[in-house]
Amino acid sequence: MWFFVDIAGEAADQIADYAFMRRLEFGRARGFGSVKVMARVGESRWSTSVFPNGDGQWMLPVKAAIRRAEAIADGDLVRGELALI
């Protein structure tokens, strides 16, 4: 089962700006408007994509292995880092 972390505020704005510039550069968006990222939560790092959710926020999928490794439960506040790639 997948869970998603909502990304809002300044971070979401930066991702949207990056996605826009990529569309201008390549003439099209990636599938579902996604943006590739390197994510880090605690000691866990992984490559994935974030997805726009339609209201100016983005969603970061966090698979079960990461949730277990970092003891993340549904409803937890999750802090981490993203690098746009």
Q: What is the pLDDT of residue 29?
A: 85
The CATH number that applies at residue 64 is: 2.40.30
Task: Please give the order of strands across the beta sheet that includes 35-41.
Answer: 3-7, 58-62, 44-52, 35-41, 81-84
Which residues in the chain show pLDDT less than 50? none
Q: How many domains does the chain have?
A: 1
Q: What is the pLDDT of residue 69?
A: 98
**pTM for the structure as a whole:** 0.91
Q: What is the pLDDT of residue 30?
A: 87
- Domain holding 77, by residue range, is 3-84
Amino acid at 36: K
State the Cα–Cα distance between residues 14 and 33, nearest whole angstrom. 14
Q: What is the pLDDT of residue 47?
A: 97
Q: What is the pLDDT of residues 56-77, one digit of tens each?
A: 999 999 999 999 999 999 999 9
